[in-house]
Structure 1
Amino acid sequence: MKDRLYYQDAYTQTFTADVVKRGTEQDGSPFVVLSQTAFYPTGGGQPSDQGKLGGIRVMDVEEVDGEIRHRLSDPLPENVTQVEGQIDWDRRFDHMQQHAGQHILSAAFLEVAGAETLAFHLGKERVTIDVRLDDLKEELWESVEQRANQIVLENRPISARFVDDEELATLPLKKQPTVTENVRVVIIPEFDYNPCGGTHPAHTGEVGMIKILGWERHRGNIRLEFICGWRALRDYTKKQAAVREVSKLLMTSDSEVIAQTQRLIAERDALKQSLQEKEKVLLEGEVRQQLERASQVGPVRIVQQTFTDKTIQQLQQFAQQAVAQAPDVVCLLAATGEKLQLVFARGPQVDVAVNQLMKDTLPLVEGRGGGNPAMAQGGGQPSLPAEEVLAHARRQLEAALA
């Protein structure tokens, strides 16, 4: 492990190494293997480092068959046998914060709730852990979060070292190692002893604030989202700016944002209810007018109407009102717009299947739809005038009534 500088000192940012191998991945990406490297390869839930080798971008780092491959944006010139490496320190330190934060949070869950961590993923925006719990009450996660941040503020040392079998047997491990050779243990004294191959800061204080963002049930356990350190500060800054902006819009203080929002929602709901009642009254009147103008075909009245200002849901409401007021009516309704919307309906005294009528009409507009014998709806391309489409449907209807 002497060639892996990130294990000797996780704070190493630059180094010099010999090029010992060149190659090309199956996807065409060039890669090099070096005599030593400070670039951490993907593993253990932690993404790889990025940075530069000899001025060429390192896109990804992965261990393949025991060798660490540095995938590059461009091939390294053939005459270059020695390179200077520089890792992206902001990315590396972020990973160190998040990974150490996961150790602390997982150990806090085990200590406070007796709940072990089953999985860990360090994402670009969020970090997740899966915890063996059936449910997570607010008071429990607050206690766990408080304990984790207490460990941070105590600024305890974090050490990591490779141990032999004899020493391994003496350590109070939180979980068993997944490897049998080169076992590395990360230690926060009197709190966490964990087999881990990732990179970590030297003290818990460098992790910064640990903040749980939310959780959900996942395969019978609880999956939590959290962030640490600089990520937590950026998140807080963004949310605080949002609260300030909402406060300005609501013309209230930060502390009154929730109460003011609740009042506005209550007012909105009341206005919405009032509007719906008035729209219902207007719709009833509109339906009565259309029924008075309806044409008569034998014992059946036909309302044939095209609208420019109604959605298909409003067409359906119109049709429902019409057949409720007049059991002898058939409605042939259309609404124009980006799509041509159609609704056909008939009252209980009319023996016509309007879903078949819709099926015969939709091919005119390359449309699709469905329904039942009493009401059907569909939509298609406005390739023909709505009046022409409804005229076709009426001819089909009159033939069915004959």
Structure 2
Amino acid sequence: MLKDRIYYQNAYKKTFKARINGNGVDSEGRPYVLLSNTAFYPTGGGQPHDTGTIEGVRVIDVEEVDGEVRHFLSEELHSKKDVEGAIDWERRFDHMQQHTGQHILTAAFVGLFGFQTISFHLGKGLVSIDLDIEDVTAEQLTAAEKLANEIILENRPVETKWVTEDELSQFSLRKQLAVTDEIRLVIIPDFDFNGCGGTHPSSTGQVGLLKIISTEKQKRKVRVHFACGGRVLQQLHWKHEELSAASKLLSAPEDGVSNAIERLLTSHHTLEKSLEKAKEDLLSFEMKNLLINKNGSIVKASFTDRTVQELQKLARMIVAEDDSAIALFVAESEDRLQFVAARGVSAGTSMKLISAKVLPLLHGKGGGNDAFVQGGGERTMASEELLSVMENTISN
């Protein structure tokens, strides 16, 4: 029976003895053993599996398959029938802290605002719950976190109780249960009654501390990321290192980092505007220089590693300055050619003639209208050769 498993009898048991009842290899080639009883918790209910050793061989995964707990090993175990197992206590206790913290935070959201939790994930760095709401305010997050930490600080007992389906009516459960046999309740008196198959500490005080880290929208739900116990210290250490590094880079005290970043962003935006104006001035100068050296009505040039957006802007500046001009530009990169062709309002030639001629030669794609076309494709010829094809197309 489930209730007889060691991890339910005593979640604090770090070593145990058992008999090997069987072994096997799964479809992925992973060897496993079956034990007469086990302290290793198998993955389930949002809580990851335990790790540890059996007779010194690493237990890398634990899964329940068809009612039997499979202990997957790093190598095959050749041993006597009676073996000793040892769980990774640091991992187990971390999971106990995080899982109980989830119960407390979930109950806080329900008790304060009626927000139900619809899923729970215990990850390596953070824990998350999905609330069945579309939005949550900063004030609501603060209130739920405050209540959760009050429950932790009160060091209330965390009780477990096995009940039958008929006995459920005696308890004010937080949510409906999916199971109907071997029902295990986890109870924080006068605060939370919930069906759960995970491992938990004996009191809320052992959760240590709970901190909400962030939230995100998830398909009309809100995902709340948080950490408990030792993970809060890990988060604090990491954030302190990041803040300290930012403080040094900005030559600002840690409590002045946000102000220093704001000043830096303001300076950056000013520089961006200045750079954009300088680019416009350079394009204007380039436009005038090209018009001075035009051949009849045609202004043509080839460039290396020039963006097509710059070519578009330059071509439009030219035909706006001289409505009789036709601008033909080509930009080449390592393996690609791109072109732009534009005409002024007084020029009668359709630029579609150019794209119709050039695109098949480049095995390329493009588009536009009678006044302006653009496109690009493979580098099947030199840029100067492509310019000549474009010019000849409208000259003939």
Verify the 8 A CA contact 1:117 1:130 in the aligned structure 2.
Answer: yes
Q: 1:387 to 1:120 in 2, by over 3 A?
A: same
Question: Distance between the aligned counterparts of 1:356 and 1:52, measured in 2?
Answer: 76
Question: Distance between the aligned counterparts of 1:355 and 1:92, measured in 2?
Answer: 70
Question: Distance between the aligned counterparts of 2:60 and 2:363, measured in 1?
Answer: 49
Match of 2:325 in 1: 329
Unaligned segments of structure 2, at least 5 residues: none
Question: Distance between the aligned counterparts of 1:168 and 1:316, measured in 2?
Answer: 73
Amino acid at match of 1:87: I
For the pair 1:50 / 2:47, whether they are aligned, the reply is no
Query: Is the partner of 2:316 in helix, strand or coil?
Result: helix
Match of 2:210 in 1: 210
- Please list the CA deviations of residues 227-272 of structure 1 after superposition, one character each: whole Å capped at 9, or x if unmatched: 2222221112111111111111211112211112112211211221
Question: Distance between the aligned counterparts of 2:199 and 2:349, measured in 1?
Answer: 74
Query: Is the partner of 2:70 in helix, strand or coil?
Result: strand
CA shift for structure 1 position 56 = 2.6
Q: 1:11 to 1:382 in 2, by over 3 A?
A: farther
CA shift for structure 1 position 368 = 4.6
Verify the 8 A CA contact 1:252 1:260 in the aligned structure 2.
Answer: yes
CA shift for structure 1 position 181 = 0.6
Q: Which residue of 311, 316, 327 maps to 1:315?
A: 311
Q: 1:342 to 1:330 in 2, by over 3 A?
A: farther
User: For the aligned residues, what is the CA RMSD?
Assistant: 2.3
What TM-score comes out, normalization by structure 2 length? 0.91
Give the 5 Å matches for 1:234-383.
234-296=234-296, 301-308=297-304, 310-347=306-343, 348-352=345-349, 354=351, 357-358=354-355, 360-362=357-359, 367-380=364-377, 382=379
Match of 1:385 in 2: 382
Verify the 8 A CA contact 1:323 1:345 in the aligned structure 2.
Answer: no
Verify the 8 A CA contact 2:342 2:373 in the aligned structure 1.
Answer: no
Give the 5 Å matches for 1:1-400.
1=2, 3-77=4-78, 80-165=80-165, 167-296=167-296, 301-308=297-304, 310-347=306-343, 348-352=345-349, 354=351, 357-358=354-355, 360-362=357-359, 367-380=364-377, 382=379, 384-398=381-395
CA shift for structure 1 position 340 = 3.3
- Please list the CA deviations of residues 126-180 of structure 1 after superposition, one character each: whole Å capped at 9, or x if unmatched: 2221112232111111111111111122222212221234543212211122111
Verify the 8 A CA contact 1:343 1:375 in the aligned structure 2.
Answer: no
Q: 1:309 to 1:66 in 2, by over 3 A?
A: closer
CA shift for structure 1 position 96 = 1.3
Question: Distance between the aligned counterparts of 2:8 and 2:352, measured in 1?
Answer: 71
Q: 1:335 to 1:57 in 2, by over 3 A?
A: farther
Overall identity of the aligned pairs, in %: 44
Verify the 8 A CA contact 2:311 2:340 in the aligned structure 1.
Answer: no
